C-alpha cells in the first residue's frame, strides 16, 4: 500500500523549511526567537480589516506574506507557467498572504487559526496576527474559542509563545478529531522525513499546552452560534473549513483550499508541496468550488489576497476567482 507520508510529504516538499532552519535544529521544535518586531514593508499598517457581517463582526488579521517558490506547485507545468505569466509573476515566486480571522458575536470572540507566531523556520516577517488582534481591541485573554482549520505552522504558530506556553489562556481549542490523531500519531511521525519532525513536534506541543481546553470535534459540529466545522480533507487528514451562518448572510472560511487564488481556480487539480494527499485535496477542492460557485457563497481564506474575501465562479471546465469588498 502506498505510504502517504513518504510519497507526499517527501523530502523535497520540506526543502523550504529545511533551508530556512539551521541544520540540527529540526528534531527540536522549530521555535527560535520571536519575529513580532521584524519590520515588513509589505504589510499595511496593523494588517487589520474589520467589517460587520450579519450577526458577526469579522476581522482579517494579516500575519505576514509567504513568498512561495513556484516549485511548491505541481501538475500541468505549462498551464502553471501560463497563469503565472498572465498575472505577471515571472520571478518564480507566488506571494501568499497568511491570514487569521476573528469572528465576534455579542458574547463570543472566536479566533480562526493563529498565524506563524514565533516560529522562525519560514524566515522573519511573520507573527503580526497578534498586533492586528490587539488593534481590533481584543486581548489574548478575551479569546473564548480558537478554531484550527489544520495544524500546519502558519496556522498554529501563534498558539504558543517563544517559551512554549499557551498564548490564549481562556480559550477552548477546537480541532477536527482526525487532525489531532494525525499529528499525535508516533508511527506517522516516525515515518515522516527528518525535515518534518519539527512540524509534528510543534503540533503536539500545542495540543499538550492547551491540556483539557483542547476539544476534538467531528465534522458537522456547531462550534458557536451559526459556525459549523466541515470536513475538507486532503491538504491534511483533518483539514476543515467553516460554514458561517450569520443570520441574513452566509460565508465559508475555506482555509487552505487554495494557496493561490489564480493558480488553483485555473488549474483546480494542482498539487501543493505541503499537501499530505494532493489527490484527495484536489477532489475536495473541486467539490467545494462547484458548491461555492452554484450557491454564490462569499468565501474568505487563509491565503487569499488581503483582506481575503471573494467568490469562485464557474468558467467552462475550470473556475475564476473574483475579490469581493464587504
Question: Counting contacts by CB under 5 A, is residue 154 touching Zn ion?
Answer: yes
The site that binds Zn ion (CB under 5 A) totals a number of residues, namely 3
- DSSP structural state of residue 191: H
CB of 118 to Zn ion, least distance (A): 17
Q: Does 172 help bind Zn ion (rule: CB under 5 A)?
A: no
* Number of helices (H), then strands (E), in the chain: 10, 16
Q: Which is nearer to Zn ion, 154 or 178 (CB)?
A: 154
d(CA 12, CA 324): 35
Least distance in angstroms from the C-beta of 296 to Zn ion: 25
In the bound complex, what is the minimum distance in angstroms from residue 212's beta carbon to Zn ion?
A: 27
Whether cis (ω within 30° of 0) applies to the bond prior to 152 is no
> Which parts of the chain are beta strand (E)?
48-53, 56-69, 73-74, 93-104, 109-112, 145-147, 172-176, 214-217, 222-224, 227-231, 240-245, 250-253, 271-272, 298-300, 309-315, 318-323
State the binding string over 212-251 for Zn ion (x if CB under 5 A, else -).
----------------------------------------
Q: Is 113 in the site for Zn ion (CB under 5 A)?
A: no
- How far is Cα 233 from Cα 220, in angstroms, rounded to an integer? 14
In the stretch 246-285, what mask flags binding to Zn ion with x, by CB under 5 A?
Answer: ----------x-----------------------------
111: nearest Cα among 237, 210, 248, 259 = 210
98/192 with CB nearer Zn ion: 98
Separation CA 44–CA 21 (nearest Å): 27
> Toward Zn ion, which CB reaches closer, 246 or 270?
270
CB under 5 A: which stretch of 153-161, 169-177, 215-223, 304-312 binds Zn ion? 153-161
What part of residues 281-310 is at the interface with Zn ion (CB under 5 A)? 302
Q: What is the largest CA-CA distance in the chain?
A: 53
Which residue minimizes CB distance to Zn ion?
A: 256
Whether the Cβ atoms of residue 154 and residue 116 lie closer than 8 Å to each other: yes
268 vs 273, which CB is nearer to Zn ion? 273
Which positions touch Zn ion (CB under 5 A)? 154, 256, 302
Amino acid at each position: 500500500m502506498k505510504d502517504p507520508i513518504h510519497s507526499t510529504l517527501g523530502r523535497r516538499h520540506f526543502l523550504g523549511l529545511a533551508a530556512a532552519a539551521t541544520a540540527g535544529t529540526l528534531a527540536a521544535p522549530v521555535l527560535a526567537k520571536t519575529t513580532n518586531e521584524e519590520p515588513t514593508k509589505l504589510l499595511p499598517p496593523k494588517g487589520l480589516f474589520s467589517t460587520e457581517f450579519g450577526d458577526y463582526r469579522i476581522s482579517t488579521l494579516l500575519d505576514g506574506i509567504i513568498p512561495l517558490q513556484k516549485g511548491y506547485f505541481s501538475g500541468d507545468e505549462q498551464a502553471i507557467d501560463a497563469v503565472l505569466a498572465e498575472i505577471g509573476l515571472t520571478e518564480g515566486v507566488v506571494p501568499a498572504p497568511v491570514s487569521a480571522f476573528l469572528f465576534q458575536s455579542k458574547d463570543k470572540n472566536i479566533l480562526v487559526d493563529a498565524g506563524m507566531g514565533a516560529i522562525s523556520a519560514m524566515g522573519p516577517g511573520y507573527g503580526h496576527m497578534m498586533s492586528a488582534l490587539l488593534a481590533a481591541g481584543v486581548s489574548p485573554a478575551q479569546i473564548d474559542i480558537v478554531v484550527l482549520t489544520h495544524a500546519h505552522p502558519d496556522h498554529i504558530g501563534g498558539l504558543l509563545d517563544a517559551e512554549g506556553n499557551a498564548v490564549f489562556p481562556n480559550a477552548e481549542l477546537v480541532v477536527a478529531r482526525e487532525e489531532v490523531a494525525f499529528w499525535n500519531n508516533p508511527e506517522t511521525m516516525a515515518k515522516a522525513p527528518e525535515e518534518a519532525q519539527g512540524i509534528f513536534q510543534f503540533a503536539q506541543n500545542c495540543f499538550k499546552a492547551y491540556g483539557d481546553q483542547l476539544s476534538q470535534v467531528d465534522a458537522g459540529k456547531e462550534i458557536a452560534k451559526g459556525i459549523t466545522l466541515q470536513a475538507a480533507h486532503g491538504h491534511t487528514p483533518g483539514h476543515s473549513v467553516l460554514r458561517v451562518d450569520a443570520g441574513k448572510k452566509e460565508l465559508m472560511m475555506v482555509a487552505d483550499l487554495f494557496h493561490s487564488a489564480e493558480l488553483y481556480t485555473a488549474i483546480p487539480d494542482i498539487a501543493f508541496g505541503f499537501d499530505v494527499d494532493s489527490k484527495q485535496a484536489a477532489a475536495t477542492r473541486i467539490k467545494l468550488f462547484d458548491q461555492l460557485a452554484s450557491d454564490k457563497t462569499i468565501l474568505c481564506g487563509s491565503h487569499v489576497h488581503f483582506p481575503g474575501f471573494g467568490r469562485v465562479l464557474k468558467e467552462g471546465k475550470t473556475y475564476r476567482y473574483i475579490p469581493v469588498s464587504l
